[in-house]
A and B are shown apart, each in its own frame.
Chain A
Amino acid sequence: MTDDIFQGYKGESLEVLKKFQVRVWGQANVETTRGKFVGTILPRSENDDDQHIVMKIVTGYNIGIDIQTILSIEETGYKKANYKIPEKEFPKTPGLPSVKLIGTGGTIASRLDYRTGAVIPAFSPGELYGAVPELADICNLETEKIFAVFSENMGPTQYIALAKAIGREIEKGVDGIVIGHGTDTLHHTGAALTFMVQNSPVPIVLVGSQRSSDRPSSDAALNLMHAMYTAGHSDIAEVMVCMFGPTSDDYGLLHKGTRVRKMHSSYRSTFRTIGDTPLAMVRRGEIHHIKKEYNHRRKDKNVKILPFFSDKVTMLYYYPAMKPDILDAMIDAGYKGIIIVGTGLGHVNKELYPAIERAYAKGVHMFMTLQTLWGYVHMFVYDTGRDMMAKGIIPAGNMLPEVAYIKLGWVLGQTDDREEVKRLMLTPINDEITRREPYNGYLIYQGGVPEVEEFIKKVRK
C-alpha cells in the first residue's frame, strides 16, 4: 500500500514525486525538457505505467508528463477535489407507492474512481434524487445497498442474499422492488430470482444501464424512471428486466426474467425477449401491456422464498470435433449437473457418447439446450438425438442455456433424485419453457433488405 498522498503512483514515478516532495492534489510547476507545465497533480490509475505523472491543467484538461523529461517540480499549493453528488433529501409524497431500491453495484449514478480510472456508483436516495429529481414524482423511495459487486461477479451467494432481502421487503409491505444491477449477467439474476422468489404479490424489477450515468447521454436515468414506475404502479407481479426498448430515449421493455437475454455488447437496446414477446412496454406514467396473461399484483404477502443453489453445475458449449476428455474432466471435477449447449436441434458428435455414458453412470444430470437460442430442442428428428436421449440427456424444450444453468443449480440445491430433478426442470415456473412459440417470437431483421430499410427509416428510432 502506498500512502494516500501518492494515490496510484508506483515505481519510478512515485520516486520522482517523493524526490521533489509533491503530493497528489498539489498544484505544481513542472519544468521539463519539453517546456513548462502548470497544473494540479492527479491520482494515477493503478493499471497505468510508472513512467508518467498526470496533471489537470487550468483549462480543465488532463495531460501526462514523461518523468524522463522532468527537470524539476515545485509545489505551489494544494487543493483536494471534493467529489460529491449533490445530496438532497428524497421527498415523501402521500399517495405515491413505496418502492424499495436494492443496490448490487450497477451504474445508476456514479462517480470517478481514481484507483482504476473507472466509475463507481453513487446510491443513496439523496444522491439519486440529486441526479434524477423526476423520481420523486413517481414513488416514495427507500434504498439499501446489500453488496457492491460488478455484474460479472454476481453468483449464487448474491442470488440467495437478494431473494432473502426481497422476502423481507415484501413482508414489510412495499409496493414494489427495484434491483439495480450491472447488465452483463442481469438475465442470470432474472432467472435465479424467478425461481427463488415465487408467488410474489408485487413487481420485482431488475434494471441497469448500458451507458454509465457519468455521461449526459446515459440510459440510466430513464431506465430508473421506467423501473420505478413499473415497480410502483404496474399490475405485473413478476420478476422482470426493465431496459431500453429501442436505442433512442423513448420507451422501456419489460421482459420476463426467464426469457430475456443480453444480445449486444454495448447497444442500449441490448435486452431482448427470446422466443416470445415482452410482457409490456413502459413509458413514464404509462404501461402498455403486450402479453395478456401475467401474474397480477395482490394485497397479500404470500411469497415463497426458495433460496437454494448448488454450485456443482456447469455448461458445455459444444463445437465440432469436441473431444470426450472435456466432458470427462467435468465429471472428474465432481460436477453433478451439466447443461449442454448443442448445435441445431440439439446435437453433439458421436465421439462424446462414451463420455456421456460415463457421466450418466456417475449420476450426472444432463440437459440439452440450443446454440441457436431460438427454437425447441428436438431430438427425435435424427438418430443421433435418439441415441443421446437413450444415454440419459434430457431435452430442455426452449429453455435458454443460461436459464437452464441457473435452474439446474437451483434444482440440485434441493434434490438429487433423478426423476425429481427431471420433473422440476421440465415444469415451468414462469415460462422458462413455453408450450408454443408465437410467430413474432423470432424476429431478427436483416439490414439492407429494402422493406427492412424502409421500416427502419420510418418507424424504428
Chain B
Amino acid sequence: MSYPMKKIDPLKNYLSTRNAIGYVDRKNATQKDYNRIGFMSGLEVHQQLLTKEKLFCHCPAGIFQKHHEYDAELIRHMRPTLSELGEYDGTALMEFKTRKEIVYRIKNETACTYDVDDTPPFPINREALEIALKISLLSRLNIVGEVHITRKQYLDGSIPTGFQRTAILGVEGEIPLKKKKVRLIQLSIEEDSCREISDIGHRRIYKTDRLGMPLIETVTYPDMENPDEVKEACDYIRFLNRSTGLVRTGMGAGRQDVNVSCKGGTRVEIKGVAHTRWIPELTHREAFRQWALLAIRKELNARISKADWKMNAIEIHYYLFQTPTKEIDFANEHNDQIWAVNLPKFAGILSHFTQEGQVFAHEISDRLKVIACIEKPNMTHSECLEPGISEIDFEKIRKILKANGEDAQLVFWGNSDDIKTALETIEERCLMAFDGVPPETRKSFEEGSTIFERVLPGADRMYPDTDSAPIPLANTYIESLWADLPTDIIERYNRLKEWGVSEDTYHFLFTNNLFPLILEINEKLKIDPKLMGNFLGHRLKFIEGHAKRASNFEYKIIYGLFKYLQDSKLDFKLADEMLKLLIEHPKMQFDSVLTSIKFKKVKQSQLLEQVYFLSEKFKQLGKKQNPANAENWIMGQLRKLAIGNMALTDLHQEVRKVCDASFQ
C-alpha cells in the first residue's frame, strides 16, 4: 500500500511554527508584542502568618520535618463529592481518574488527629484572624460582616480532609503601583497544605508539618498587561504583607500562583512560584504558549472538524520493532503494554512550537504522567526533535494503523491497568486542541517553562464548612484594628525617594521590612535616613550575602549599634566591620566587637600628627614624587587606624592640604 508522504522535518517545523506565531524572546519583547497577543495576568499571593499555633488546631506552627523523619504513615484515597450547588468539579473528577494512593508521613510533634482528619476543627486561631484582618485593611478591602468558613476541595491529597478550610475576610480592594492601580478581588485566610515528598506512579507521599499553618491569599484582578507589571504587583503585595512584621519569612513562607491568558486564550494558573523574579519569564512564555495553541486550533479546524476527528489505537508487540529504542526496551522489561495511536490530520502538529524547546507532543506526555500515572518517558512520536523510533519501524506502525501522510503517530507504554485512562487522556487532549487552550494549572520551573499539573478547578468545589460556626466581625473590633497599622508601602516608597535613598535598595528594604528601622534611627538618633537607607540596602545586603547569619540575629541590633557609635563618638564607618561580626555573633557586646576588629581609639590630633610624619617619610621612599601619589600612600597607611576615629573624607582633606603644601 502506498500513500502520499508529506515528510515533516520536526526541527524545521518547530522553528517555522515558532516564527509563524511571532514568538519573541522576553528581552526583545516590547509592550507592542504584549498588546499584539493580548497579554493579561492576575495574581494569587500566598503568605504565611507568624503565629504560634496552626489555624484550626493547637499544633505548633513553623516546625518542619525532614522527608524521612516521621512517626507514622497513613493512607487515603480521595473521592469527588458534590458542591453546595450540586455540581461535580472538573478537577475532582480528573483526580479521581488518577486513582492515587495518598500517603501521609506524620510527626507527632507537628501534627495531631485534626491534621489527619480524625478530629473536627477547633475554633479558628484568633491571633491569625487578627493579622489577616490587618492586612485586609491595609489592602483597602471591604471587610465582611461575618466570616464563613468554607471548604475548598482539593483531591490531589495535599490536605487529608480533601478540602481546605478557608474564609473570605474582604473583597474589592486595590494596591497602587508606580504607574497604575491594581484592583484586588479578595483576601482569604486559609490553612496551608502538606508538602509533597514524591509522586511516582500511583503513589503520592506528603508530609504534614506545614499542613494547617495559617496562610492568607490575596487575589488580584487580571489588571497586569506585561510580565514586569506582574512582578511589580506581586512585590508590592509581598512588601505590604511584610510591613506588618506579623508574617513569616524564609523559604516557602510566601508563594504565588500566577494567572495568565492571551487574547482568545484561557485563564491558566501557574502554581507555587517561589520567587517573584521568576514571574516575568514564566508569564511571558505562558502567554505565548497559549498564542501557539490558538495557532494550532486554527490549523486543525482548517483540516478537519472536531466532530469528525477520531483517533485509532492498537496494542503492538515488542517484536514488531526491528531496532527498539532504550525506552521500548525498558517498557518491555517492565511488562508494560506498548500501544500505537494514529492521530488523523495531526502531521506537523505534534512538533508545533509551544514553549522554548517544547512542542505540542509534550502537552500529551505531561498529561499521561499526571492523569494516567505513567512515569516519563511515557511516549514517543513521529515528530520527535530527538532521534526516536526508526523510520522503518514507524513505517510498520503506520501500516498497522492504516495511517496516511497527513496523520501523526504516537507510541506510548504503561501498566495494563493504566492503558484505558491513557487512551482517554490522549484523545481528550487532542480534542481540546480543536478548542484552543484548556483551562489548567501548571507547575513552574526556574528557567521559565511550565508543565501540566491539574485541570483548573472552578467555583464548583466550594462547600460551607458544617463543622464551624460563622464568626461575626463587629464595627468596634474592626475600628480598633486600624489603630496600629503601618503606613502604606507606596507612602514609604515616596519617603525613601524624598530622602534620596538609592532606588536599588528598595527591594531589599521592603523585603526585610527595614523602613521602620530607618525611621526609628532617624527619629531617635537623628541620623540621616539617606545614609541609613543606603547603609542597610547596600552594606547590610552585602554582608548578609557573605556571612552566615545567626538565627538569633535581629535587625533591631543595628539600632543599638548606631546608638553605641553615636554615644561613643565613633565614626559610623565602623558599623560595616562591626556588623560583619555581629551578624554571626549577635550576642557579642559592642566593646568586644571593637576589640575583635582590632580597633584602637586615637585622637584626631594624633592622627593629624602622623600625617606630617608620613609625608616626610614618603619623600624618603623611592616612589614617584607628586602630591596625588603621596595622598594615596598616606591614606593607605592611615586608613585602618582612622576608621571610627575620624571621617575618612575629613582626613583626606587634611592629608591633601599637607601634601599640597609639602610638594609646592
Q: Point out residues on A near B: beta carbons under 8 Å.
A: 32-37, 48-49, 51-52, 54, 56-69, 81-86, 111-112, 117-119, 131-132, 211-218, 221-222, 246-250, 264-268, 447, 453, 456-457, 460-461
Residues of A within 8 A of B148 (CB): 54, 61-64
| A66 near B117: Cβ-Cβ < 8 Å | no
In the complex the two chains form, is A213's CB within 8 Å of B85's CB? no
Instruction: Decide: A117 and B142 in contact? CB cutoff 8 A.
Output: no
Distance, CA A208 to CA B72, complexed state (A): 26
Segment of B167-175, B359-367, B387-395, B492-500 engaged in the interface with chain A? B167-175
- In the complex the two chains form, is A61's CB within 8 Å of B462's CB? yes
Q: Of A56, A214, A218, A267, which contacts B118 at CB under 8 A?
A: A267
Docked complex Cα distance between A302 and B76 (Å): 41
Evaluate contact between B81 and A62: CB separation under 8 angstroms: no
Interface residues in B430-470 (C-beta closer than 8 Å to A): 458-464, 466, 469-470
Q: Across the interface, do A250 and B472 meet the contact criterion of CB distance under 8 Å?
A: no
Q: Is the CB of A217 within 8 A of B78?
A: yes
Q: CA separation between A84 and B86, bound complex, in Å?
A: 5
Tell me the nearest residue of chain B to A210, going by C-beta: B118
Q: Name which residue of chain B comes closest to A217, CB basis.
A: B162
Determine whether B285 belongs to the interface, using a CB cutoff of 8 Å to chain A. no
B469 with A35: CB separation less than 8 A? no
Question: In the bound complex, what is the Cα–Cα distance between A268 and B473 (angstroms)?
Answer: 35
Instruction: Give bound CA distance, A453 to B106, whole Å.
Output: 12
What is B's interface to A at a CB cutoff of 8 Å? 70-86, 88, 92, 108, 113, 116-120, 141-148, 150-155, 160-163, 166-168, 171-172, 185-186, 188, 219, 458-464, 466, 469-470, 472-475, 478
Task: Determine the distance from Cα of A67 to Cα of B145 in the docked complex, in whole angstroms.
Answer: 8
Report if A61-B166 is in contact (Cβ < 8 Å); known contacts: A52-B146, A218-B81: yes
The residues of B that contact A215 with a CB separation of less than 8 Å are: 81, 117, 151, 161-163
For the complex, would chain A's binding face be called helix, strand, loop or mixed by DSSP majority? loop
B81 adjacent to A118 (CB under 8 Å): no
Say how far A66's CB is from chain B's closest CB, in angstroms: 3
Within the complex, the shortest CB–CB distance from A83 to chain B, in Å, comes to 4
Looking at the assembled complex, report how far the CB atom of A236 sits from the nearest CB atom of chain B, in whole angstroms. 26
Contacts A267-B113, A447-B108, A461-B72 supplied; 19 other A-B pairs, CB < 8 Å? A32-B142, A35-B141, A36-B142, A54-B470, A61-B150, A61-B168, A61-B188, A63-B148, A66-B473, A66-B474, A69-B145, A81-B85, A83-B86, A211-B117, A211-B161, A215-B117, A215-B151, A216-B154, A247-B118
- Once the chains are docked, how many angstroms separate the CA of A457 from the CA of B108? 11
Complex: A65 Cα to B143 Cα, angstroms: 9
**Could you say which residues of chain B place their CB within 8 Å of the CB of A211?**
117, 161
Q: Give every chain B residue within 8 A of A36 (Cβ-Cβ).
A: 142, 172
Contact B470 A48 (CB under 8 A): yes
* A68 in contact with B475 (CB, 8 Å): yes
The residue that B470 contacts in the complex, of A59, A64, A250, with Cβ under 8 A, is A64
Contact in complex: A51, B472 (CB < 8 Å): yes
A33, A63, A218, A447: the one within 8 Å of B144 (CB): A63
Q: A118 with B144: in contact, given A215-B161, A460-B72, A461-B75 (CB under 8 Å)?
A: no
Evaluate contact between A59 and B113: CB separation under 8 angstroms. no
Assess the A119–B77 pair: CB atoms within 8 A: no
Chain B residues with CB under 8 A of A59: 168, 185-186, 219, 459
26 contacts between A and B (CB under 8 A): A34-B142, A34-B145, A35-B142, A37-B144, A37-B171, A48-B469, A54-B470, A56-B84, A59-B219, A60-B459, A62-B462, A63-B148, A64-B148, A64-B470, A66-B473, A82-B86, A83-B82, A131-B81, A214-B466, A216-B78, A216-B81, A216-B153, A216-B154, A217-B76, A221-B79, A264-B118
